[in-house]
Structure 1
Amino acid sequence: MRTIEPIARIDLAFSLFCLKHRFNVQVASVSRWVSRTGDGHLYLLLGIAVFCLDEPVGKLFFTAALLAFAIELPIYWLAKNSFKRRRPEEFSHLLHAFITPSDRYSLPSGHTAAAFLMATIIGQFYPQWHDPALMWAVLIGASRILLGVHFLTDVVIGAVLGMSSAYVALEYVQAWLGGV
């Protein structure tokens, strides 16, 4: 455990920096809105819209996204329940979360994983939307830190999980369906 102590100290210091300033309430208000765009509802709506409106690319997009989530979600659940990393406000009385998270543990960030998964899928099928989708994913990850529910490493690991799951799904879609 001593090998991760420096990372934990950096995480805590970064969270204190992000949450302990005079504009934290205003930043949290914007962050709450950004975070809500990553709750999952928009992913489903986007998938259905692309499926219906962009034949035949939409079917490949939808298939790749479904497969990526089928890969990502069990890994996410297993990691959360194996690491059982406490959330930032549990580490220090100086930290306060601006929202109530949907589960108990913080590692990895599921919102961030899902956002980077979708950004990767979007970028593969619609390259012109890659940069905006990636920026949106970064904002979702940042919002989770600024709301006090995740540490920086939770977000980084979530991003890696999401992108990795998307790339594996894209490889399978390419091999199975000849798409992408």
Structure 2
Amino acid sequence: MKWVNQLQRADEIAFFWLSMHLRRPSGGCLARWISRSGDGYGYVATCLLAFLLQDPIAQPLFLLLLVGFAMELPVYWLLKNTLKRARPCDRVAHFRSLIQASDRFSFPSGHTTAAFLFAGITAALMPALAPWLYAWAAAIGLSRVALGVHYPTDILAGAGLGMALAALTRWLVNGVYL
């Protein structure tokens, strides 16, 4: 288990460096705003806007997101509550996060998982937006580190899980990988 301790130590070093540098420009205000954009309301608003604009992707987007999030929530919850990785503010003495997380454990990042799931599904339907969607999803993950509630590996795991669930969702709904 020596490699696990080494990985944890490297993760903590990366966490402190990133959180310090990512907080500097706005003292965490920008990170709070970016993080909130991944709270879920934006996903619903995107679907509603697509329907209001009578966009032809509205129905497939809604269906894919519905199936994707129906899988994501229990998988994310099961992983988080099985692995039970303590959040940085609970593990590191004298460190305070900028926000209170909505649950106890940090691995994987639920915000990042959801953002990459959304980006992967939406990018398949609107490929021209893919760079923007994935940049936004990455910003969600970095904001969670800046706010002090996740380690970098929580973010990487969330991104990988979100992209895998997006691919699985597209395959299940469409019968083929888009």
- Give the TM-score normalised by structure 2: 0.92
Q: Letter of the 1:157 partner, please give it.
A: A
Instruction: State the partner residue of 2:152.
Output: 152
Root-mean-square deviation (Å): 2.1
Instruction: State the partner residue of 1:35.
Output: 35
Structure-1 separation of matches of 2:22 and 2:149: 19
Q: Letter of the 2:59 partner, please give it.
A: K
Where does 1:14-163 land on structure 2 (aligned, <5 Å)?
Answer: 14-20=14-20, 24=24, 26-163=26-163
Cα offset, 1:22, TM superposition: 10
Structure-2 separation of matches of 1:55 and 1:79: 36
Q: Structure 1 residues 69 and 23, CA, compared in 2 at 3 Å: closer, same or farther?
A: closer
Structure-1 separation of matches of 2:6 and 2:166: 30
- CA distances 1:83-114 after superposition (whole Å, capped 9, x unpaired): 11000112222422000000010001000001
Structure-2 separation of matches of 1:19 and 1:146: 4
Unaligned runs of 5+ in 2: none
Instruction: State the partner residue of 2:166.
Output: 166
**Conservation of the 8 A alpha-carbon contact between 1:50 and 1:62:** no
Larger deviation, residues 132-141 vs 23-32:
23-32
Unaligned runs of 5+ in 1: none
- CA distances 1:117-175 after superposition (whole Å, capped 9, x unpaired): 11111110001111111100000000000110000000000011111111111011212
**Conservation of the 8 A alpha-carbon contact between 1:51 and 1:62:** no
Q: Letter of the 1:19 partner, please give it.
A: S
Please give the secondary structure, in 2, of the residue aligned with 1:26.
coil
Structure-2 separation of matches of 1:11 and 1:179: 33
- Give the TM-score normalised by structure 1: 0.91
Instruction: State the partner residue of 1:7.
Output: 7
**Conservation of the 8 A alpha-carbon contact between 1:173 and 1:179:** no
